Amino acid sequence: MTFIQSLLHQSPEIALFLALAGGYWIGKFQFGKFQLGKFQLGGVAGSLLVAVLISQIGVTIGNGIKAVLFALFIYAVGFESGPQFFRSLGRQSIREIIMAAVLAITGLVTVEWFTGRSIRDDAIKAEAEMLAGASVYGVGEQPALPMLVGRLFSVERAAGRIISELERKGPAATISIERVKRGGKLIGNDPGLVLEKGDILLVVGLLIGLVIRLGSVPLTLGGGGGALLSRLVFGWFRTRNMAIAG
What domains can you pick out in the chain, each with its CATH number?
2-87 (no CATH), 148-210 (3.30.70.1450)
Does residue 5 have a pLDDT over 60? yes
Confidence band, pLDDT 50/70/90 cuts, at residue 123: low
- Which 8-state DSSP code applies to residue 140? T
Q: How high is the pLDDT of residue 154? A: 87
pLDDT, mean of residues 175-199: 86
Report d(CA 17, CA 47) in Å as an integer. 10
Give residue-wise pLDDT tens across range 40-81. 777 778 888 888 888 887 777 777 777 777 787 777 777 777
What separation in angstroms does the CA of 23 have from each of 1, 14, 26, 48, 177?
21, 14, 5, 7, 60
CB 115 within 8 A of CB 108: no
What is the pTM for the complete model shown?
A: 0.34
